[in-house]
Amino acid sequence: MEIRTGRQIVSSLHAHLVFTTKRRGKVLAPAHLKRLGAIFDGVCADFEVELREFNGEADHVNLLVFYPPKVRLSELVNSLKGVLSRLLKKEFPEIASFWSVRKSRGVLWSPSYFAGSVSGAPISILKHYIENQGGRRG
């Protein structure tokens, strides 16, 4: 088990996060997923969160994060989804046009998400699962 230490706390918190596209639209291509990984990594770093694994398919993404107890997962998720949506639409105009055609008011992500706690041995199993989503992306 990996331990994170602070001045007054010792913790080991991992979470598995899953975000789906609005109406499960199959909009994320391999190039988008590659860029998503870099964006996720930067946003996580701003929260002092380590992105341990990331991968996805055309209609959803999986993340494994290691985070300190001061981080509220709901705030991390909102920031990740907001920054991703804004940057992807700016860098990949076809994403913005896809959603305006589908009358989703330009919304890329479903408002719901999955967050599951992870500990001990299952982390390696979860990493393997995420690595194999839609084939490995670098």
Residues of the chain with confidence (pLDDT) below 50: none
Q: Per residue in 67-91, pLDDT tens?
A: 999 999 999 999 999 999 889 888 9
Q: Interior CA angle at 82 toward 18 and 84, to 5°?
A: 70
Predicted local distance difference test score (pLDDT) of residue 108: 84
Measured between its terminal Cα atoms, the distance across the chain in Å is 26
Question: What's the whole-model pTM score?
Answer: 0.83
Predicted local distance difference test score (pLDDT) of residue 121: 58
Average pLDDT, the chain: 87
Q: What domains does the chain contain, in order, with CATH numbers?
A: 4-131 (3.30.70.1290)
